[in-house]
Amino acid sequence: MSALVVGRRPAAPRRAGPPMQPVAHRVVSRHDEMPDTVTLGLVPEADELAPFRPGQFNMVWVPGVGEIPISVSSAPGDPGPLLHTVRAQGAVSAALAARPMGATVGLRGPFGSDWGLADPLLDGTDLVFVAGGLGLAPLRAGLRAAIAERDRFASLSLLVGARQPDLVLFPDELDVWAAGDEVDVQVTVDHADATWSGEVGVASALVPRLAGDPARTVALVCGPEVMMRFTAAALEEWGVARHRIRLSLERNMKCAVAMCGHCQFGASFVCREGPVYPYDRVAELLRVREL
């Protein structure tokens, strides 16, 4: 059984300055994804952050309010600004989502492990992305990067779960992918009326309908933790080995450099060993409610 390399510690940022010092970025684009969710395009005002890998996150600081971790939702090779998709849920995220064009925010990063797309052991695999709700944002970075190297993979599939049809993230991009022949896209929602022609049900119910070979599949999963647990179980039941399933976990983070302990998850820190973990490493920990 070959071990896939994920959850590795990223290289230290190459920019000048300590990792706790935010680097000023300017908001140059805003795209309202949903009533409470916006994608911000950010460009550096002077210094640049080190290059990121899909699945990694930045700490985004709103001056005078606070700082939160946000995954990058664009791919490394994308033209244009660095994209972060944020839902206005708490004080910091609401302030961030409300930042107007031209406003300054501070970024630290990139931090954490990535989806591991550069791993040569992914060559020839059926690569499956399973996104729940806003979990599509960090997965989009990975999927865009995978599409850019489409020939490496036997197949690419994207399963998307959302609450209802008008709360599906990035619908225009999903339509483009669905219309092409590079990615098999299936979208399901929890609730819909009869005007919705897609699937209704949970994302994990789509797993048995995947066309690939479970033994050849690597699955990247991001969404609410309950959704990820059920999806990982469905993938395992379908025949995907635990070490070939990768989950992006979410925990309260403060320092992002494994010093403060806020994101401690068992013996690891999600900001450093995570957020992307192989399922075999965290499956039992996910059952521990105190974590």
Partner 1 sequence: MTAVRDLLGEHALFEGFAPAHLDLLASLATERSVPAGGLLFREGELAKWCYILRAGRLALEAHSPTAGALVVGTLGPGQLVGWSWLFPPHRWQFDARAVTDVEIVALDAVGLTEVADGDPTFGYPLLRRMLEMSVARLQQARLQVLDVYGGRSSR
- Note the residues at the interface with partner 1 (CB under 8 A): 87, 89-90, 93, 132-135, 161-163, 167, 188, 190-194, 196-202, 204-205, 209, 222-227, 230, 250
**Residue with smaller CB distance to partner 1, 125 or 204:** 204
| CA trace torsion 199, 200, 206, 209 (10° rounding) | -50
Let me know the angle formed at the C-alpha of 60 by 55 and 63, rounded to the nearest 5 degrees: 180
Q: How far apart are CA 54 and CA 33, in angstroms?
A: 20
Q: In the complex, what is the shortest distance from the CB of residue 101 to partner 1, in angstroms, rounded to a whole number?
A: 23
Using only the alpha carbons of the chain, give its radius of gyration: 18
Residues ≥6 apart with Cβ < 8 Å to 191: 163, 164, 200
- Residue number with CB closer to partner 1 (26 or 163): 163
Shortest distance (Å) from residue 132 CB to partner 1: 6
> Which residue number, 86 or 122, has a Cβ lying nearer to partner 1?
86
**Cβ at position 19, least distance to partner 1 in Å:** 23
Q: Which of 161, 159, 108, 117 is nearest to 141 (CA)?
A: 117
Torsion 99-101-104-107 (CA) sign: positive
How far apart CA 69 and CA 112 sit, in angstroms, is: 11
Phi-psi region of 161 (alpha: psi -120 to 50; beta: other; left: phi over 0): beta
CB nearer to partner 1: give 67 or 199. 199
Between residues 23 and 169, which has the closer beta carbon with respect to partner 1?
169
For the CB of residue 169, give the shortest distance to partner 1 in the complex, in Å.
Answer: 10
Give which of 205, 204, 211, 288 is closest to 245, Cα–Cα.
204
Sheet-wide strand order for 37-44 = 66-71, 57-62, 104-111, 23-34, 37-44, 82-87
Give the rounded distance of the alpha carbon of 34 from its chain centre. 18
CB of 262 to partner 1, least distance (A): 15
Residue 227 CB, shortest distance to partner 1, in Å, is 5
Q: What's the token pair of residue 112?
A: 């954490």
Q: Which is nearer to partner 1, 23 or 68 (CB)?
A: 68
The least CB distance from residue 133 to partner 1, in Å, is 4
4 or 210: CB nearest partner 1:
210
Three-class DSSP category at 204: helix
Q: Which is nearer to partner 1, 23 or 246 (CB)?
A: 246
Least separation in angstroms between residue 282's CB and partner 1 is: 16
